[in-house]
């Protein structure tokens, strides 16, 4: 059967109105044009679809079947259009992400994995501190934020997608390396190299020791995880960092994670946006991707 969508559309209009005149009017066609389409459809189907009794037009049994299926086909066409519109939405466009400096150890991998299935999408990634992240959320300056410490009292949608354990690091020749369950009390004798105020890591660390009633001896303050790691390697003190910053140093044995009682400090990574913000199709796709697949994509990093 050689049927065109146009014939089906004309057929459906006649079947709905049971009138060639009304169908012609609806479709902005002449009545002979409508009759011609129906004639071609009937010829192709090899059976009459309408019958004329007196002045009235009726569907034949074959016509009723054809009407039933033509409605289904029309529905499918609408669905195809919707699916294609969605695909167009997420295969193009721009995604603007802002992440906490510690999250940058895995954010680029996430973007790379997402980009593989979204070739037409361009990205911008702002790696910045917590204060700036909060500012961007408040002023709607980026699509999504990845951070470890969503603030309370701000209208945000925050969804945890991965653990973020904080550990104590030392150089390999430190006397506490290899000691089973170093006590918090013993830790107080050490000097710590710490992150800048405003860093999520620093906030979590201070809260943890305050809650446990311990005070850390702090030495130098540094604005990046890289600087902290270098300083610890150089023997300037112990450090507390997210395990996600450590893959390489542990592998080549430049740093060691100490076995400390009550550690690691358990935290999570969150994907965050302002409540009520209308996410673009690309941003929504990335959010879903992070929530559903980030752990898997980053498995090797997480296992270390």
Please list, in sequence order, all residues whose beta carbon lies within 8 angstroms of the beta carbon of residue 292, skipping any fewer than 6 positions away: none
- Closer residue to ligand PGA (CB): 151 or 281: 151
- How many angstroms separate the CA atoms of 167 and 165, rounded? 6
- Closer residue to ligand PGA (CB): 130 or 174: 130
Closest distance to ligand PGA from the beta carbon of 170 (Å): 19
Closest distance to ligand PGA from the beta carbon of 150 (Å): 9
Is 166:248 a contact under the CB 8 Å cutoff?
Answer: no
- Closer residue to ligand PGA (CB): 63 or 239: 239
Q: For residue 132, give the H/E element and its range.
A: helix 130-138
- Closer residue to ligand PGA (CB): 100 or 144: 100
Closest distance to ligand PGA from the beta carbon of 93 (Å): 27
Number of other CB atoms surrounding residue 68 within 10 Å: 10
Closest distance to ligand PGA from the beta carbon of 108 (Å): 15
Closest distance to ligand PGA from the beta carbon of 242 (Å): 6
- SS3 for 215? coil
Closest distance to ligand PGA from the beta carbon of 121 (Å): 25
| Nearest-CB residue for ligand PGA | 200
- Closer residue to ligand PGA (CB): 45 or 272: 272
CA atoms within 13 A on the CB side of 105: 19
Closest distance to ligand PGA from the beta carbon of 128 (Å): 9
- Closer residue to ligand PGA (CB): 162 or 255: 162
- Closer residue to ligand PGA (CB): 107 or 260: 107
Q: By CB under 6 A, name the binding residues for ligand PGA.
A: 100-102, 129-130, 147-149, 195, 199-201
Rg (CA), the chain: 32
CA 239 to the chain's CA centroid = 32
Phi, psi (5° rounding) for residue 243? -60, -25
Q: Which residue has the tokens 């299935």?
A: 117
Is 126:99 a contact under the CB 8 Å cutoff?
Answer: yes
Q: For residue 45, give the H/E element and its range.
A: helix 31-45
- How many angstroms separate the CA atoms of 12 and 38, rounded? 10
Question: What's the sign of the alpha-carbon dihedral 298, 198, 132, 153?
Answer: positive
């Amino acid at each position: 059967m050689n049927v065109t969508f146009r014939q089906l559309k004309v057929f459906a209009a006649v079947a709905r109105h049971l009138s060639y005149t009304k169908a012609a009017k609806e479709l902005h066609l002449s009545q002979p044009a409508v009759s011609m389409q129906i004639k071609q459809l009937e010829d192709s189907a090899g059976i009459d679809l309408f019958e004329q009794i007196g002045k009235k037009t009726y569907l034949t049994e074959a016509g009723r079947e054809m009407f039933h299926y033509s409605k289904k086909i029309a529905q499918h066409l609408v669905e195809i259009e919707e699916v294609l519109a969605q695909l167009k939405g997420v295969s193009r466009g721009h995604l603007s992400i802002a992440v906490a400096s510690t999250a940058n150890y895995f954010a680029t991998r996430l973007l790379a994995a997402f980009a593989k299935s979204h070739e037409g999408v361009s990205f911008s990634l702002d790696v910045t501190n917590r204060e700036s992240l909060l500012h961007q959320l408040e002023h709607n300056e980026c699509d999504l934020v990845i951070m470890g410490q969503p603030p309370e009292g701000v209208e945000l949608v925050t969804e945890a997608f991965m653990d973020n354990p904080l550990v104590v690091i030392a150089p390999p020749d430190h006397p506490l390396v290899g000691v089973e369950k170093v006590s918090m009390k013993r830790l107080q004798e050490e000097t710590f190299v710490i992150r800048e105020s405003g860093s999520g890591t620093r906030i979590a660390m201070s809260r943890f020791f305050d809650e446990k009633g311990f005070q850390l001896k702090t030495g130098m303050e540094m604005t990046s995880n890289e600087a902290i790691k270098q300083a610890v390697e150089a023997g300037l003190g112990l450090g507390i960092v997210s395990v996600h910053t450590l893959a390489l140093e542990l592998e080549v044995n430049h740093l060691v994670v100490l076995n400390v009682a009550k550690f690691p400090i358990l935290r999570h990574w969150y994907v965050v946006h302002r409540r009520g913000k209308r996410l673009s199709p690309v941003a929504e796709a990335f959010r879903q991707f992070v929530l559903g697949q980030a752990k898997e994509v980053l498995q090797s990093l997480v296992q270390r």
